[in-house]
Chain A
Amino acid sequence: MIGWPTRLAALLALLAGALAVSSFVLVFEAGGLVQPGVAIAFGAVMLVGEVIRIWLPNGREAAPLGTAAAIGYALTESVAGTPTTHSAWQVVAVAAGATALGVLPHIISGRAPDADGLARRLVVIATVAFWFRSDSVQDLLTNSGPLAKALIMAAVVGIGGGLDALLAAAVRAERAHAPFARAVVDELRATGALGIAIGITGVLMALAAPVTGLWAVPVFGAPLLLAQFSFRRFATIRMTYLQTIRSLSRVTELGGYTETGHLHRVADLAVAVGTEMGLSDAELRDLEYAALLHDIGQLSLDEPIDGGATSWKSADVQAAIARDGAEVIRQTKVLDRVADIVERQSDPYRRPHEADDPQLSIASRIVRVVNAYDDAVGDSPEPSRQAEALEALRLGMAFDYDPAVVRTLGRVLNRRHGGSH
């Protein structure tokens, strides 16, 4: 499913391709690069930034230094006292060329960068460059003092950053079948801070270049490297954390308490359902951990449940397992929300003659439904068995299984298997 070009992603790629080709043609016809020294200095930093791009949590990618240098190039009006004469098309051409060269090492090493991200960035850089170098903005700049100039630059870059977040969110929402508004908030949370650092670094390069000359590019880019380094360490520990929970959750499988592969499948399905139901990145992470650890309470049982299928046990036993599991998780002191989800994983969403339980989180409802589904189906690829399991869930929708969750699960399964449930 991942990597399948959605309509919007395809549109972006097309637009970026058209921009790149037109820019090459136009720059070539105009007699090559204007002020090639300046172009090469910025282009070189873009290239380096591309080579040292970083992979962030949740499949996001960024090349902070490269992006900042491209923005800086778009905004730079003079270098060491000499006015710059490059056109917006040249900015696009240099950015496209540097990106193409910079991604080569990644492609060779088998870790090709996300094509949507590259296309989106070129579109945003082109927007900033054309807008900033347009007559209206340039007229505004000639009548402004130094401080106003800096503010105008920041505003143009800020709007470019906003556009970037909106486009990224739209592509993600379309691909993961998540609500758009949710995706925008997640995008800003995940990359907003880094985006501000990138944008301001670009503005700083453009402000300093008139004084320091081209040295502004590496010197003012260096601090961004520190930010980039910090974000990369964060991404690494996030990944390590997830890997560890995935591995350690399997102790219940090893002890024969849970069927092999059950936890992984439940976590995978739960996240797909949660995404579609509009949970945030942070909520999805808690949900994934809870799904992986939902059977940890079984460690307190004397003898493993046959096949580990908790949903076939009496409600009391299920509740006890959930409580014990939550107890273990709560002892970490940092996964309280995960513990809450696990604790209520076996509760019905409503009881007879009562309204829908408002205290029961969506995540707990998802774990309950997906867990019951996987207990029934296991790793069986039989469509009839999947349909039967889904039908059993529908029968339980009065009290046990939240209808909204069951419906979403049906949609997710339908998409995955292409069948009709």
Chain B
Amino acid sequence: MREIAVAARLYVGAVITLGVAIAAWSVMSVDNWVNTAFLLLLMLALERIGFHATSVAHDGTFTTMTLPVAAAAFMVEGPDAAALVGVLALFIRGHEPSERRGINVKRAFNAANFAISAFIGGWVYVALGGPVGTLESADFPEVLAPFAAASLAYCAITTLLLLGVLTLVSGARPGDLLRGSLLQTTPAMFGYSFFGLMIAVLWLGSGIGATSVILVLAPLMIARWAIGQYAREREAYEATIRTLIRAVETKDEYTRGHSERVAKGSVMIGRVLGLVGPRLDALRYAGILHDVGKLGVPTRILQKTGRLTDEEFAAITLHPVRGRDLVADLEFLGEALSGVLHHHERLDGRGYPMGLQGEDIPEFARIIAVADAFDSMTSTRSYRGARSVAEALEEIRRCSGTQFDPRMVEAMLLALEREPWAERTGQPEPRQAAGGLDHDDPTVAVGRR
């Protein structure tokens, strides 16, 4: 742990030092301060018009307007002005409330990163013969090549520098990080760079002057607004789905929060197995929804203590089928549907509802089965207290190969090493509605022997 922190500090320090050097050099070599000041003001204005709330990715990374303005800057004024535009990231607020005040290391790193990227991008443009300060019809289409190369260079350098710090701080594999979010935001960043080209074309080429900036920015503002709408809608959606599932769980006090924890556990396993993007989302939703069919099982049976009759057992084994039927229309779930249907299958074929064996059981179902059993054992039940994580893992290991897929069990163990699970050990509290034996708990013989 200690070594990682030291390496990260050294890395961040080196990047900031380089950024400061480039900024100093740029301040001394800028020619036209009127144009440069206009670009810097434009940059500040853009960031002030509330871009911090409109993140494309929902994991905290967000694209700034730095690249488009820097691109306009190197076309109008050259690489020095572009680097200074990058430095302004020092004053860009992140969208987390804790990040609002003061200048911190994170911002200094971002500013240095953007300054370095913009400076090198600008020089790539100049080196490939891109004209600075003039633009005529004769320059087209040739100017597109240096422009695109410069933007790509900017994107690549920014991404690499960011990847470096994320790898050192989080200890995650660079490949995972890249696939996770960086590669999703980089194409968008490259796309936005064309706004810089457009500003430069209208600024330098057509006669409408600085007003053109308004025209160029309108579609951009609208795109940003739409992304904001999307992000809000998505948040609302997630809140709704969680709440409705919690409402379903009110049938049994003891299972409160179970679905969300199973979703969390499934995602932890999925990450270790290398799932990303929409598949990981689908797995999370499948985890949340896995027990939704329980509502079709009479409360009396769910809460029964003691042995179940064959008939009652049959009613319980129906819940995955009922659940699948309920969410079958959700197109986005895709293969996660089978995760809901088969989460009670066992590797040895003794599970339900279909009695599938081994690899015939869908991958998502094998993941959810492990997370489901694990959460069940580490939660309090009416007939016993919660077990410790270690005890639960011991039990899951014991059932590995018969009930659970050893690959998923291994992944769960690995995931728990990376990210600890909150222990919820304790004795059952007296409640008016006593919960019954838990069908998810592998140590309780539910049903037929």
Total contacting residues, chain B, CB less than 8 A: 66
Q: Contact: B206 with A193, CB < 8 Å?
A: no
Q: Contact: A219 with B239, CB < 8 Å?
A: no
Interface string of B316-357 (1 = CB under 8 A from A): 000000100111111110000000000000000000000000
Interface string of B211-252 (1 = CB under 8 A from A): 110011011101111110110011111011111111110110
Q: Contact: A212 with B222, CB < 8 Å?
A: no
Q: Contact: B243 with A331, CB < 8 Å?
A: yes
Q: Contact: A222 with B191, CB < 8 Å?
A: yes
User: Within 8 Å CB of A243, what residues of B?
Assistant: 329-332
How far does the Cβ of A65 sit from chain B's closest Cβ, in whole Å? Answer: 11
Given A241-B236, A251-B292, check contact A207 B206 (CB 8 Å): yes
Instruction: Decide yes or no whether B129 CB sits under 8 A from chain A.
Output: no
How far does the Cβ of B211 sit from chain A's closest Cβ, in whole Å? Answer: 6
Instruction: Decide yes or no whether A224 CB sits under 8 A from chain B.
Output: yes
User: Within 8 Å CB of B237, what residues of A?
Assistant: 237, 240-241, 244
Q: Which secondary structure dominates chain A's binding surface?
A: helix
Given A197-B219, A251-B292, check contact A215 B230 (CB 8 Å): no
Instruction: Decide yes or no whether B198 CB sits under 8 A from chain A.
Output: yes
Q: Contact: B135 with A219, CB < 8 Å?
A: no
- List A residues 10-54 near B (Cβ within 8 Å): none
Q: Contact: A227 with B223, CB < 8 Å?
A: yes
Q: Contact: A211 with B194, CB < 8 Å?
A: no
Q: Contact: B295 with A255, CB < 8 Å?
A: yes
The CA of A270 and the CA of B295, in the complex, are separated in Å by: 26
How far does the Cβ of B354 sit from chain A's closest Cβ, in whole Å? Answer: 20
A-B CB pair tally, cutoff 8 Å: 188
User: Within 8 Å CB of A229, what residues of B?
Assistant: 223
A243 nearest CB neighbor, chain B only: B330
Total contacting residues, chain A, CB less than 8 A: 62
Q: Which of B30-38, B69-77, B97-105, B137-145 contacts A (4 or more CB under 8 A)?
A: B137-145
User: Within 8 Å CB of A216, what residues of B?
Assistant: 201
Q: Contact: B206 with A211, CB < 8 Å?
A: yes
- List A residues 118-148 near B (Cβ within 8 Å): 145-147
Contact for A254 among B223, B235, B244, B293, CB less than 8 A: B293
Given A80-B137, A237-B230, check contact A254 B239 (CB 8 Å): no
Instruction: Decide yes or no whether A309 CB sits under 8 A from chain B.
Output: no
The CA of A222 and the CA of B230, in the complex, are separated in Å by: 20
Q: Contact: B192 with A226, CB < 8 Å?
A: yes
User: Within 8 Å CB of A240, what residues of B?
Assistant: 237, 330-332
User: Within 8 Å CB of A8, what residues of B?
Assistant: none
Interface string of B249-293 (1 = CB under 8 A from A): 011000000000000000000000000000000000000000011
Given A204-B215, A234-B230, A237-B233, check contact A296 B137 (CB 8 Å): no
Q: Contact: A193 with B222, CB < 8 Å?
A: yes
Q: Contact: B230 with A244, CB < 8 Å?
A: no
Instruction: Decide yes or no whether A373 CB sits under 8 A from chain B.
Output: no
User: Within 8 Å CB of B224, what residues of A?
Assistant: 230
User: Within 8 Å CB of A277, what residues of B?
Assistant: none
User: Within 8 Å CB of A211, what residues of B?
Assistant: 135-137, 140, 201, 205-206
User: Within 8 Å CB of A256, what residues of B?
Assistant: 296
Instruction: Decide yes or no whether A315 CB sits under 8 A from chain B.
Output: no
Instruction: Decide yes or no whether A278 CB sits under 8 A from chain B.
Output: no
How far does the Cβ of B51 sit from chain A's closest Cβ, in whole Å? Answer: 13
Instruction: Decide yes or no whether A200 CB sits under 8 A from chain B.
Output: yes
- List B residues 77-134 near A (Cβ within 8 Å): none
User: Within 8 Å CB of A231, what residues of B?
Assistant: 226
How far does the Cβ of A154 sit from chain B's closest Cβ, in whole Å? Answer: 8
Q: Contact: A255 with B208, CB < 8 Å?
A: no
Contact for A207 among B202, B233, B292, B331, CB less than 8 A: B202
Q: Contact: B136 with A332, CB < 8 Å?
A: no
Q: Contact: B194 with A212, CB < 8 Å?
A: no
How far does the Cβ of A229 sit from chain B's closest Cβ, in whole Å? Answer: 8
How far does the Cβ of B63 sit from chain A's closest Cβ, in whole Å? Answer: 10
Q: Contact: B140 with A223, CB < 8 Å?
A: no
Given A219-B194, A299-B247, check contact A247 B330 (CB 8 Å): yes
The CA of A197 and the CA of B217, in the complex, are separated in Å by: 10
Q: Contact: A200 with B205, CB < 8 Å?
A: no
Interface string of B178-215 (1 = CB under 8 A from A): 00000000001001101101100110011111011001
Show 17 A/B contacts (Cβ-Cβ < 8 Å), sorted by A.
A193-B222, A204-B215, A212-B140, A216-B201, A219-B198, A226-B188, A226-B223, A227-B219, A243-B330, A251-B244, A251-B292, A251-B326, A254-B325, A296-B244, A299-B248, A299-B295, A333-B243
Q: Footprint of B on A, CB under 8 Å? A: 80-81, 145-147, 150, 154, 193-194, 196-197, 200-201, 203-204, 207-208, 210-213, 215-216, 219-220, 222-227, 229-231, 233-234, 237-238, 240-241, 243-248, 250-251, 254-256, 296, 299-300, 302, 328-329, 331-335
